[in-house]
Chains A and B, each alone.
Chain A
Amino acid sequence: MEQHLQDLYEVLSKVDGYVYPNEIELNWSILIVLYPYITGLVAGAFILASLERIFKIRILKPTYGIALLTAFSFMLVATMPLVSHLGKPLRAYEIMITPHSSSAMAIFGFVYLWYLMVVLFLEIWFDYRRDMVIWAGETTGFKRFMYRLLSLWTTDISPKSVALDNRIGYIVTVIGVPSAFLLHGYVGFIFGSIKANPWWSTVLMPVIFLFSAMVSGIALVMGIYIILSKIRRQVIDMNCLDTIARYLFYILIIDFTLEGLDQIHRIYVAEESFEALHKLVFGQLFFTLFIVQGFFGTILPLLTLGTFQFYKPRAEIRKVIYLVLSVLILIGIFFMRWNVVIGGQLFSKSFYGYTSYKVGMIGAEGYLMAAIWLIVPFLILSFLLWLLPPWKKIETDHGNLEE
């Protein structure tokens, strides 16, 4: 409390121009940056998985399971930054009990549950059920109990039931793709619908969020795949990796175009808020927007991936470059969220001045808390990979069964 006030006095001394007194305190902090970031990773990873399944791009097979489990483990924590940021976290359930139909945020609970339970959970369940039944017979102790529990004590693994699982899994994926679009386009809408804030309120916001989500999700799965193969001392399927990189390249182009379009539009129409935003972009946001997000997160990967379409260096080098690029893109997209969420609060809605934001180390809204919510999904993922290793599954060729 005291510390909080002290910080605010420090911010007050740094205010540039005039901001409404209530705006000195930045209300949505780093945790709210994480929230669209994590949901974006989920949506992106899922869309990569469904490329394999729906569009039958079999070359992506090695990443299918990883992508699904990644999406699931990030989805489990997606709401945590949001909830821990609430002023009254214990009242979070109200959003499910009495959702306000006109609020963009209220529906999030349902979109989230739908996506977590109906899409991700069901898809993984149908995908793994046969294996879980088999593994339950081979293991003992905790693992055996988990398999039993997760497979709901079923035992039927006749080809007929497995075929049914596959068919339902396919349907779930088909439903899942629009759901993933919905989930993340919807997160964009939470920001895009705030008419009071010219930095946020653009119709392009949901679309931009969607494509940047895909970019980040695909980059994440690519990175995890490379690292996982290293850890397991497995040969990386370079064909698969190159294909992912190609998709990454295409989507990155779309993302870049959309964001460029948004900025060009702003510059051209030059509304009332333009001057204030201009100063913001070249002032406090310069580093995160142009250097980190723009150059390292977008242009550099674009150029590299573009070059790879014509000229491919040796596999060893490519691997390393892909890994570096995926990290760069992940950082870039994180700062894209940062620029939207934090940037949108740095300028006053009176357009006469700027406040500033300093992340603390500790406390409910500091670095550490944010880092925890970024590390937890990886722990969950490790657990899931241990429990449900995709590489130990019996090969099912999704491509053949759907017909």
Chain B
Amino acid sequence: MKKEKTKLSRRDFFSAGTALAGGVAITSVLAGYDGLLFAAVTPNAKGIWYGIGIDINKCIGCGKCANACKLENNVPQAPFYFRSWVEQYTIKNDGSIVVESPNGGIDGFKQSVPDKDIFKSFFVPKMCNHCAKSPCTQVCPVGATFETEEGIVLVDEKYCIGCRYCVQACPYGCRYIHPDKGTVDKCTLCFHRLKKGLKPACFEICPTKARIFGDLNDPGSEINYFLKNHNCMVIKPNLNTGSKLFYNALNPEVR
């Protein structure tokens, strides 16, 4: 009952807002945030609105996505710069948690905890959440980073001043300063591939189809199917970032 109400009022708000902004998708920073509801009633009801799904059960931690991302987008090879990487979480029987990500998972993982000590272990691929109320675009002082109409957060390399405020503001650690360019760099959801009708490199390459993306506005899209058939969560929902990266089988330990 209560949910129904919010849903309606939010839709009203958005249509009014969209009208005001002349068709540009805007999202209220002030409105609350429930991941699934947010996906079901997208802020930009016209056109495409991208969402991403990752199935943790399917991820085999081969790190090929992180590798492909680096090669596709000319990310520096040194292990301090990643647009996309994979983490291995190991919850031990003694109650401690081991998280590791050697070279972002590109060289594969070696199990560091012996089987008998493990309660549960799983891989978590990380990438930009393409938040709809992204804290990083909010803080950019010059407007060098922005959300497109499709809900993708991009960086304007020619305009970025390299102040690193956005790096601080991103709760997911998805931004870095490109050491050669001096400007910030982040996942673009392979915008250049999307525009040619191709999947982003990491989605294309995944050997187990653990990664899914698609248009949240299209009822028949893969991502909508994924969201309807799995129990999905976003990382750090409490921060109200409007994250559009949904994980199946995400454990709350993942941060």
8 Å CB contact of B135 from A27, A87, A195: A195
A198 to chain B, nearest CB (A): 10
The interface-forming segment of A14-22, A310-318, A321-329 is A14-22
A1-B180, A100-B143 known; 7 new pairs, CB 8 Å cut-off, are A91-B160, A99-B142, A103-B140, A103-B165, A196-B169, A348-B173, A349-B255
- Is A255 part of the binding interface, using a Cβ–Cβ cutoff of 8 Å? no
CB distance A88 to B179 under 8 Å? no
B188 to chain A, nearest CB (A): 15
- Is A251 part of the binding interface, using a Cβ–Cβ cutoff of 8 Å? no
Main secondary structure of the interface of B (DSSP, over half): loop
CB distance A25 to B177 under 8 Å? yes
Main secondary structure of the interface of A (DSSP, over half): loop
The interface-forming segment of B6-14, B78-86, B209-217 is B78-86
CB distance B104 to A88 under 8 Å? no
Contacts of A108 in B (CB 8 A): 141
- Is B109 part of the binding interface, using a Cβ–Cβ cutoff of 8 Å? no
8 Å CB contact of B139 from A23, A82, A104, A350: A104
CB distance B142 to A25 under 8 Å? no
Contacts of B143 in A (CB 8 A): 98, 100
CB distance A87 to B164 under 8 Å? yes
- Known interface pairs A102-B138, A103-B141; A87-B161 also in contact (CB < 8 Å): yes
A364 to chain B, nearest CB (A): 11
CB distance A87 to B160 under 8 Å? yes
- Is A24 part of the binding interface, using a Cβ–Cβ cutoff of 8 Å? yes
Contact with A along B123-163 (1 / 0, CB 8 A): 00010000000010011111110000000000000011111
Contact with B along A252-295 (1 / 0, CB 8 A): 00000000000000000000000000000000000000000000
Contact with B along A72-110 (1 / 0, CB 8 A): 000000000010011110011011011110111110100
- CB-CB nearest in chain B for A271: B238
CB distance B171 to A196 under 8 Å? yes
- Is B32 part of the binding interface, using a Cβ–Cβ cutoff of 8 Å? no
CB distance A25 to B80 under 8 Å? yes
Interface positions, chain A 1-42, Cβ under 8 Å from B, are: 1, 4-5, 8, 12, 17-25, 27-28
Total number of B residues with any Cβ neighbor in A under 8 Å: 49
- Known interface pairs A22-B176, A94-B159; A88-B170 also in contact (CB < 8 Å): no
Of A12, A27, A348, the most chain B CB neighbours within 10 A belong to A27
- Is A351 part of the binding interface, using a Cβ–Cβ cutoff of 8 Å? yes
8 Å CB contact of A21 from B80, B97, B183: B80
A166 to B179 Cα, complex, angstroms:
53
CB distance A352 to B99 under 8 Å? yes
Contact with B along A186-225 (1 / 0, CB 8 A): 0000100111110000000000000000000000000000
Interface positions of A (Cβ within 8 A of B): 1, 4-5, 8, 12, 17-25, 27-28, 82, 85-88, 91-92, 94-95, 97-100, 102-106, 108, 190, 193-197, 344-345, 348-353
A4 to B164 Cα, complex, angstroms:
17
- CB-CB nearest in chain A for B253: A352
- Known interface pairs A23-B173, A348-B173; A100-B182 also in contact (CB < 8 Å): no
- CB-CB nearest in chain A for B178: A87
- Is B244 part of the binding interface, using a Cβ–Cβ cutoff of 8 Å? no
A247 to chain B, nearest CB (A): 34
Contacts of A353 in B (CB 8 A): 99
Interface positions, chain B 164-201, Cβ under 8 Å from A, are: 164-165, 167-177, 179-184
- Is B100 part of the binding interface, using a Cβ–Cβ cutoff of 8 Å? yes
CB distance A195 to B81 under 8 Å? no
Contacts of A344 in B (CB 8 A): 168
CB distance B82 to A21 under 8 Å? yes
A78 to chain B, nearest CB (A): 15
Contacts of B183 in A (CB 8 A): 87-88
Of B100, B126, B159, B176, the most chain A CB neighbours within 10 A belong to B176
CB distance B174 to A22 under 8 Å? yes
Contacts of B182 in A (CB 8 A): 86-88
- CB-CB nearest in chain A for B160: A88
A98 to B85 Cα, complex, angstroms:
34
B146 to chain A, nearest CB (A): 9
Question: Which 6 pairs, one residue from A and one from B, show the smallest C-beta to C-beta distance?
Answer: A87-B162, A20-B173, A87-B182, A196-B171, A18-B99, A106-B141
8 Å CB contact of B87 from A1, A18, A106, A193: A18
CB distance B162 to A88 under 8 Å? yes
- CB-CB nearest in chain A for B158: A91
B20 to chain A, nearest CB (A): 15
- Is B21 part of the binding interface, using a Cβ–Cβ cutoff of 8 Å? no
Contacts of B1 in A (CB 8 A): none
8 Å CB contact of B80 from A24, A100, A190, A195: A24
- CB-CB nearest in chain A for B78: A5
User: Can you pick out 7 interface pairs between chain A and chain B where the beta carbons lie within 8 Å of each other?
Assistant: A87-B160, A91-B161, A94-B159, A97-B142, A99-B142, A104-B139, A350-B99
- CB-CB nearest in chain A for B99: A18
B98 to chain A, nearest CB (A): 8
Contacts of B15 in A (CB 8 A): none
Contacts of B100 in A (CB 8 A): 18
- Known interface pairs A18-B100, A18-B101, A350-B99; A105-B163 also in contact (CB < 8 Å): yes
